[in-house]
Structure 1
Amino acid sequence: MKQFLFILGKNYTLSLCEISHLLQFNPYKGKIIDYSKQIGIIEFEEIINPDSLLKLQHRLGGIQKICEIIADYPKEIFIEGFPLQKLPKKFKKARTSIENNIIPKILPQIFLNIQNKKIMFAISVYPYLFSKPEVSVGHLIQFLNQFIKNHLKKDSNSVKYFKYPDKLLKSKDLNPIWPHHVLVYSLLEFPNAEIILGFTKDRCYIAKTIAVDNPNVRKLIDEHRPETQFETSIPPKLAKILINLLNLPKNGILLDPFCGTGTILMMAALQGINFFGTEINNERIEATKNNLKWLTKVFEFVIPNLEQIVFKLDARNLDSYFEENSIDGIATEPYLGPPLKSYLLESEYKKLIEEEIQPLYFKSLQSMKKVIKKNGKIAIISPVYKEIDNKKVDFDLKSLAEELGLKVIKLLPSSRFGIKKEKIYDKNSLIILKDQYVMRKINLFKKIE
């Protein structure tokens, strides 16, 4: 079984959550066999071809890069060769081993048929386990750049490498190159390459990048669509993640009953997913339609019957339009409360929850359950409010869902992990930052009857 290295997003638990749900079903069935706060090591049960991995990267919201693993070694050899502190007596032996036993073995698998070719490469190191790194990244990159360049020059016409600024190389906190750089320097194109070194608790994985997130597409959608409401809009990355949590069947139908300005629907449209979008607010319905029309022009595709699939409807009365058991999955962010410009008192938050938020969620979930099919999932965001002393005010959406007969689905299923670290498994929900005063809680429910 082939192993791949996934570069995780800033919120690594959310990235692992998204992957773990995709790994439950074909064609991507598999397990996370190792991970850190920066990388996940994925082993698929079936052979995955390059085109499928490109499609997977396009589909994912929380993954920066997908890389093919070439080899892995005990991480101690790299720590001994490039320690953070004073050089140990064994550093020369460790570096000699890297020069003689590691790099010469992996380069022929990364650079194929390079005779008389011009080569550009870059080294990216992901050293963070769950706290500080254990290896001097700057020294390691400088060493590898020069050694690999000299080795490749034996066969190729010209060899260049990505040069990090000297100031950054000397610092202890050197970021790897971003997906944007991979695209700008054509590092996915033959014979170029980005070489990844990713560290976990025991291993150092060496890999070659084969697909990256395209930040230009996301920026275009996020910043240049005609209708934006940043205070209430969901980020495109998060929209993708919510959709992926549903594991929709082929030709399945997605519903967003609080579609806002249409971010979730836009991400669904780009993946060819059938969808409906509803809102109680007329202005937002028109904003969603304008954004979807703009999307079809920019990316040159067609959304049939737009007027019939995006329309005004109260999320508490979905069954007034949709037939029972007609929707395959629901991804949505309902009303999270009014935009806040200061912290509220705990009593004020509780009043908001009791009078507005909780009744809205209960009635909406009740309506969603009626229209969704058996075994269909609901990926729904709920608010968590912050007080000035950083205490959190929440409400028990889990109990509301269970009262309605919905099953709570674990967001990081332990069955998809081949190795156990930290206490991140089988969470009922995940909380992520929205702004200074409100956080988003991601919940996943399933209709079982």
Structure 2
Amino acid sequence: MNQYFFALGTNHSLSKIDIINTLLRKGVDFEILEASEEILIISTSSELSPALLINELGSAVKIGKIEKVYLKDENWEDFFDKELGNQKFGLSLYHAGGRYREIDEIFEKTKKLKKIREKGRILSSVTVDQSGLLKKPASTSTREARRGGGFELVICVGAKGVYFGKTLAVQDYESYSRRDYGRPSRDAQSGMIPPKLAKMMINLAGRGKDELLLDPFCGCGTILQELTLLGYKNIMGADIEDRAVTDSQKNLDWLFETFKLEKADFKINIFKSDARALSAKISQNSVNAIVTEPYLGSSQARYLSLDQIKKEIQKLEDLYLAVFGEFKKVLKDSSRVVIIFPVFRYKAQFFKLQILDILKNQG
């Protein structure tokens, strides 16, 4: 069996769901061995391709393969000579479900191993703070190790054992930044969903690459872009604003040119439409999934009084109920909607839309 580790993003719960959904959609049979706020470790009979998989995921910071597992009472210190020989490496330590005291002990032991220091094999080291969390970005030692002709060795301290692995793929931060800040059109007023979150939402939809996916609040086209890069061939975007339709088209044209994609391989339709009247433009029972960041309310929400917040919530509830009525018309049976709902804060109180029960009753 093969064992792999995934270093998780900031929202570890969403990150785990993203990874699990993607693996299931790809037909990977796997078992979760360890899970924490930092790491997910799985066992599978499949041979994964981390370099390809990390580009499908929106949440994994890095992916690697577990090379050796030690039980808690086993001596793991000879791993560096027996398994690594004279290879050079960067060293990162993660909490994977074990006790923080165990992490501290292992970290102190690795620092004291003379045979490692004397041979100059550690190219970089990522330290842990008192809570056991990493002080440096997770990719720092990976870059340093590769520049030095080595690799990143990752030690994951789990509840069942101590896992030694090698990092095989790291999230392409530069590409995400380019897709967000390097595209020709951005508009903070029409939504600024990050590309990584857009990708996670698409993965949550769990649809096939030839099925029809719709973003009815497409804004400047972030979700449409990520659908395209993930290889979805049948894409539809709509927005009530003329500028949003134009911006989405400009950004997609830029995407095809920048990433050398063939437009003939895709069927993408972007048009103007009020989300409350989608069925006038889209055939009934034709859409396989909706992935969207809708209108989330006033951009001045942080300055609103409690009374104004309640009025804003009422407006959004009315809008969303009308929109979901249209979703029901255009979606096929057993389809999925992945959508962001706003939460408003007033002093120490949080206010949410109270429509989930109504939507459930509507089916």
Query: Could you tell me the TM-score, scaled by structure 2's length?
Result: 0.88
> Which segments of 5 or more consecutive residues in structure 2 lack a partner in the other structure?
none
Alignment check: 8 A CA contact 1:8 1:63 kept: yes
Distance 2:134 2:206 in 1: 36
**Is 1:61 equivalent to 2:61 in the alignment?**
no
Match of 1:192 among 145, 150, 160: 150
Distance 2:241 2:185 in 1: 14
> Which segments of 5 or more consecutive residues in structure 1 lack a partner in the other structure?
78-96, 109-113, 154-158, 406-449
Distance 2:266 2:245 in 1: 11
**Is 1:327 equivalent to 2:287 in the alignment?**
yes
Decide whether aligned partners of structure 1 residues 315 and 345 sit closer, same or farther in structure 2, where only a CA change above 3 A counts.
same
**Is 1:162 equivalent to 2:123 in the alignment?**
yes
What SS does the corresponding residue of 2:338 show, helix, strand or coil? strand
Alignment check: 8 A CA contact 1:255 1:329 kept: yes
Aligned partner letter, 2:77: E
Distance 1:374 1:170 in 2: 49
Decide whether aligned partners of structure 1 residues 15 and 170 sit closer, same or farther in structure 2, where only a CA change above 3 A counts.
closer
What SS does the corresponding residue of 1:370 show, helix, strand or coil? helix
Query: Could you tell me the TM-score, scaled by structure 1's length?
Result: 0.72
Which position in structure 2 is the counterpart of 1:402?
360
Decide whether aligned partners of structure 1 residues 240 and 29 sit closer, same or farther in structure 2, where only a CA change above 3 A counts.
farther
Aligned partner letter, 2:328: K
Alignment check: 8 A CA contact 1:69 1:207 kept: yes
Distance 2:355 2:115 in 1: 56
Which position in structure 1 is the counterpart of 2:195?
236
**Is 1:142 equivalent to 2:111 in the alignment?**
yes
Which position in structure 2 is the counterpart of 1:71?
68
Q: Which moved more, 1:220-229 or 1:326-335?
A: 220-229
Decide whether aligned partners of structure 1 residues 331 and 103 sit closer, same or farther in structure 2, where only a CA change above 3 A counts.
same
Which position in structure 2 is the counterpart of 1:317?
277
Decide whether aligned partners of structure 1 residues 251 and 183 sit closer, same or farther in structure 2, where only a CA change above 3 A counts.
farther
Alignment check: 8 A CA contact 1:22 1:29 kept: no
Decide whether aligned partners of structure 1 residues 180 and 381 sit closer, same or farther in structure 2, where only a CA change above 3 A counts.
same
Computed over aligned residues only, the root mean square deviation of the Cα atoms, in angstroms, reads 2.9
**Is 1:289 equivalent to 2:249 in the alignment?**
yes
Distance 2:359 2:83 in 1: 51
Which position in structure 1 is the counterpart of 2:260?
300
Alignment check: 8 A CA contact 1:124 1:197 kept: yes
The CA deviation at 1:23 is: 3.8
Distance 1:175 1:350 in 2: 41
Decide whether aligned partners of structure 1 residues 305 and 140 sit closer, same or farther in structure 2, where only a CA change above 3 A counts.
same
Distance 1:10 1:203 in 2: 24
What do the CA deviations read for 1:392-432 (whole angstroms, capped 9, x no partner)? 10112321321221xxxxxxxxxxxxxxxxxxxxxxxxxxx
Aligned partner letter, 1:60: L
Alignment of 1:42-441 (within 5 A): 42-44=42-44, 46-50=45-49, 53-75=50-72, 97-100=75-78, 102-107=79-84, 120-127=88-95, 129=97, 134-136=102-104, 139-143=108-112, 147-148=115-116, 160-164=121-125, 172=130, 174-175=134-135, 178-179=138-139, 182-183=142-143, 185-186=145-146, 192-230=150-188, 232-274=191-233, 275-304=235-264, 309-340=269-300, 342-354=302-314, 356-389=315-348, 391-405=349-363
Distance 2:47 2:332 in 1: 30
Distance 1:47 1:170 in 2: 33
Decide whether aligned partners of structure 1 residues 291 and 131 sit closer, same or farther in structure 2, where only a CA change above 3 A counts.
farther
Aligned partner letter, 1:125: L
What do the CA deviations read for 1:151-174 (whole angstroms, capped 9, x no partner)? xx6xxxxx653335xxx8596465
The CA deviation at 1:134 is: 4.5
For these two proteins, the number of residue pairs brought into alignment is 358
% of aligned pairs identical? 29
What SS does the corresponding residue of 1:31 show, helix, strand or coil? strand
Distance 2:254 2:143 in 1: 25
What SS does the corresponding residue of 1:41 show, helix, strand or coil? strand
Alignment check: 8 A CA contact 1:343 1:388 kept: no
Aligned partner letter, 2:324: L
Alignment check: 8 A CA contact 2:141 2:152 kept: no
What SS does the corresponding residue of 1:338 show, helix, strand or coil? coil
What SS does the corresponding residue of 2:297 show, helix, strand or coil? coil
The CA deviation at 1:319 is: 1.5
